[in-house]
Structure 1
């Protein structure tokens, strides 16, 4: 179970990121409705997932590099403070500075938008405790880049696969059956949930 829970955490975070409308499914549905095409909805999900995956992969690459040159305690402290700083900013200011892309965006534009959204929200930082647990599963206490690379790539794949599955399911349900009008009566404040999740991630790093 000590090696299973980080993978479950990565998949669970992927599902959480996928259900968050700010991560892409709402934009995909809006594009599909704007162009009156179910195909556009499905095609939009691919660059959105790719952009998200590139963002978290970049963050985790930085984690592996700095984790290899810093002692583990100092690295966890720096990472925790960074994540908690993002949580505090979100608590006081919310997500006021959103990345905006027009309805005529192409596939490359969608991927770039998704990359910026995931990066600005700190999506990759949420994965740090789980990835650190996997990389240190041998109990050596050292985060070696060579041995951590396969684990990091697998973490990106698991997380991104879970996210893609969820955004596809949500986008299909909203586009085909529910419609955007349902959001008026069933809206959840994901900005607040995201801030709480960031805070929990930072605390998890401090006590890990």
Structure 2
């Protein structure tokens, strides 16, 4: 593969890392809805913003564990076979989430502390397949031109940090706007169905893995 093509694919990978951060941050299931509800319940902006760091930490932990595990398997398995398996798995997980994901909602009380919020966020991100979505983006990044110091795992750390930072900023902006201006009624009046979009994104990510074999 030429250096220019590698660079183009790596740039596309980083764009996907950034874009998925915006997408994850917009999804109410990834935390902004919880932060807003907590702030409204306690009547405090401080409660809203205090909920964001543990939610970000849990999301980052889930994403890194999933992506680094995929990279570790990549070192031990044939790359083409790995892409086939991961592609099919992503498509299957997307279909499962669409038809059955609503049956596995995680509940947490409004008195949860830092650790409780972080664990809830990690579990939610894992069950939704947040880290799985980043695997197609990481593969060209780790291949060469887009890699950072530290090899593939360094790239996984960098991608996790960039993705989580973008997701957190997006979540914070939406949570603050909902708290200060529009309220949670927007979810009933005009918010898009992120469950459908999430399932579609998983299936598209799997299809990309199969197409890039």
Listed as ranges, the gaps of 5+ residues in structure 1 are 139-145
Aligned to 2:142: 135
- 1:69, CA displacement in angstroms? 0.3
> Paired residue for 1:59, among 66, 69, 74?
66
Listed as ranges, the gaps of 5+ residues in structure 2 are 1-7
2:99 maps to 1:95: no
Contact 2:9 2:141 in 1 (8 A): no
Aligned to 2:209: 205
Q: Helix, strand or coil for the counterpart of 1:180?
A: coil
Q: Helix, strand or coil for the counterpart of 1:98?
A: coil
TM-score by length of 1: 0.94
- 1:180, CA displacement in angstroms? 1.0
> Paired residue for 2:171, among 167, 170, 173?
167
- 1:187, CA displacement in angstroms? 2.2
Contact 2:87 2:206 in 1 (8 A): yes
- 1:149, CA displacement in angstroms? 1.3
Deviates more, 1:126-135 or 1:183-192: 183-192
Number of aligned positions between the proteins: 203
2:33 maps to 1:26: yes
What does residue range 64-83 of structure 1 map to in structure 2 within 5 Å?
Answer: 64-83=71-90
